[in-house]
């Protein structure tokens, strides 16, 4: 699946929709992984951990890094999924989105909000996960995984 998750920043209604969307996607992915392997990719619009953004302290109250949002990813991972990038890279400084208005990409002041998640049963098949920061043209950059079937 390649999914663009809601941003949630326009209003309280949009934010609640974002949380509901996460809940429904988690339920759906859990059901699916009982029948088949699952690869979920996309702009999740949440930086999961403090290492997933350049300025966590300054963004503690920002949509995209609120505890209630981050808990959604934790719950998803705890239900049997793996963050493929964190299998290989444990340190901070690796981002997939930068604010174009502030030219933050030039300073690498970004957020990692684009992910590849796989069900745990196939995580050992993932041979590489990367963020292609040298690819320009958007406020996001491509991400990739390589895997053996």
Q: Burial level of 71, CB count in 10 A (0-12/13-18/19+)?
A: middle
Indicate the angle between helix axes 67-78 and 12-33, nearest 10 degrees: 10
Asked if 100 contacts 141 with a C-beta cutoff of 8 angstroms, the reply is no
Beta bridge partners of 81: 119
Tokens of 125: 């098949």
Residues tagged active-site: 43
Query: What's the rounded Cα separation, in Å, for the pair 48 and 59?
Result: 12
């Amino acid at each position: 699946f390649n999914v663009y998750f809601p941003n949630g920043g326009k209003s309280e209604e949009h934010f609640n929709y974002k949380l509901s969307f996460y809940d429904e996607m988690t339920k759906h992915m859990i059901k699916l992984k009982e029948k088949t392997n699952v690869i979920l990719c996309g702009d999740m619009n949440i930086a999961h951990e403090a290492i997933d953004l350049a300025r966590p302290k300054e963004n503690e109250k920002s949509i995209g890094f609120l505890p209630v949002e981050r808990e959604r990813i934790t719950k998803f991972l705890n239900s049997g999924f793996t963050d493929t990038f964190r299998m290989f890279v444990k340190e901070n400084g690796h981002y997939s989105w930068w604010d174009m208005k502030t030219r933050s990409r030039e300073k690498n002041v970004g957020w990692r909000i684009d992910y590849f998640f796989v069900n745990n049963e196939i995580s050992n098949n993932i041979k590489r996960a990367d963020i292609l920061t040298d690819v320009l043209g958007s406020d996001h950059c491509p991400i990739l995984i390589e895997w053996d079937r």
